Structure 1
Amino acid sequence: MAGYGDDAGFQQWASENGYDVPSGTVAAARQRGSSYIDAVYGERFPGEPAGGIEQDRSWPRVNATDKWGNAIAVDAVPARVIHASYHAALQELQSLGSLEPVVVAAERVKREKVGPLETEYMDGVEGQDALAASTPLLAAVEGLLEPLLTPVGGFPAMMVV
């Protein structure tokens, strides 16, 4: 399963945006960045995967349009999706594992008291499970993908990393 874009495109994008990317780590980071995009936004992309359920990635898609009603070619992966996956890949390179939160239900704290100080933590976001509520959302990715997202399903509370 290949990530969106390609290694040369990622390196060029990073350079044009002033980011330093160590060589030799690009392919794996692109893979993780693309997996993040599909996992977090896949069900909110318009249309359906062109290759059906067996398609590895969310794009390309059939019956897809942007928020203005412009059709997206059935064999296309929008540049916005590719660049969003590059942003996610960069985040993963800067902080390995940051795109994959791990939530252990038994370790979540509802209330904590230390001396006279007492803190109660919100137990997720209403209507969401703990994993969805703890998934990081990147502001740059949100901005890039906004014209492609449908309002289907709940929108997670934004936790920018």
Structure 2
Amino acid sequence: MAGYGDDAKFNAWMASNGYSLPDGGVAVAVLRQRGSDYIDGLYGSRFSGQPTGGFEQERAWPRTGACAHGQPIPSDVVPVAIEQASYHAAYQEAVKPGSLTIAVTAAGALKRKKIGPLEKEYFEGSGDAVADGTLKLSAVEGLLAPFFSIALPAIFVV
């Protein structure tokens, strides 16, 4: 599998944003792969259109029938914002290895614990342990938002 973009573009993106990779980290290509996996895994089903190469296509992009800002996206194009979102995720993985993958339990996080007379209180979650434990990066969310399918409510005429 190949991550979105390429190593040279990723390095240029980091330089233009004032980022640098930690010493002794994994290869840039591996980081791009992990960032791209994060984008496709978390957001792939929300993108408009469908993969141009069908269900066997290794990445969510390029897509057929996709649009952003009211404009169609050619079926052979991976938008720059998709690449940049994957670079943000790759950089997150570089500075905090493993942060893009989660392992959770359904148990709530302890908010308060009182020793005598025994009292515990847990934070309330959404009921979806995976969603509650998934890292969301605001820069990624902002870059990807224009590419999401929008489910419009049904309008009933009486």
**When the two structures are superposed, what TM-score results if normalisation uses the length of structure 1?**
0.83
Partner of 1:159: none
Q: Give structure 1 stretches of 5+ with no counterpart.
A: 153-161
Partner of 2:94: 93
Q: Secondary structure at the match of 1:119?
A: strand
Q: Following TM superposition, where does structure 1 have runs of at least 4 consecutive aligned residues deviating by more than 6 angstroms?
A: none
Partner of 2:44: 42
Distance in 2, Cα, partners of 1:142 & 1:125: 19
Which of structures 1 and 2 has the bigger CA Rg?
Answer: 2
Instruction: Kindly provide the amino acid, as one letter, of the partner of residue 142 in structure 1.
Output: E
Over 3 Å counting, the alpha-carbon distance change for 1:136 and 1:24 in structure 2 is closer
Instruction: Kindly provide the amino acid, as one letter, of the partner of residue 88 in structure 2.
Output: H
How far residue 121 of structure 1 moved from its aligned partner, in angstroms, is 2.1
How far residue 148 of structure 1 moved from its aligned partner, in angstroms, is 1.0
For residues 27-68 of structure 1, what are the alpha-carbon distances to aligned partners after superposition, in whole Å with 9 as ceiling and x for unaligned?
Answer: 1110000000001110110000000000000000001111x3
Alpha-carbon contact 1:84-1:141 (below 8 Å) kept: yes
Show the 5 A alignment for 1:101-112. Answer: 101-105=102-106, 108-109=107-108
Partner of 1:145: 144
Over 3 Å counting, the alpha-carbon distance change for 1:69 and 1:100 in structure 2 is same
**When the two structures are superposed, what TM-score results if normalisation uses the length of structure 2?**
0.85
How far residue 132 of structure 1 moved from its aligned partner, in angstroms, is 1.8
Q: Secondary structure at the match of 1:75?
A: coil
Distance in 2, Cα, partners of 1:142 & 1:5: 18
How far residue 24 of structure 1 moved from its aligned partner, in angstroms, is 5.8
> For this pair of structures, how many residues does the alignment match?
146
Bigger mean CA offset, 23-32 vs 82-91:
23-32
Alpha-carbon contact 1:11-1:21 (below 8 Å) kept: no
Q: Secondary structure at the match of 1:82?
A: helix
Q: Give structure 2 stretches of 5+ with no counterpart.
A: 152-158
How far residue 110 of structure 1 moved from its aligned partner, in angstroms, is 6.6
Partner of 2:66: 64
How far residue 115 of structure 1 moved from its aligned partner, in angstroms, is 1.4
Partner of 2:115: 115
Distance in 2, Cα, partners of 1:136 & 1:6: 24
How far residue 5 of structure 1 moved from its aligned partner, in angstroms, is 0.2
Distance in 2, Cα, partners of 1:82 & 1:12: 12
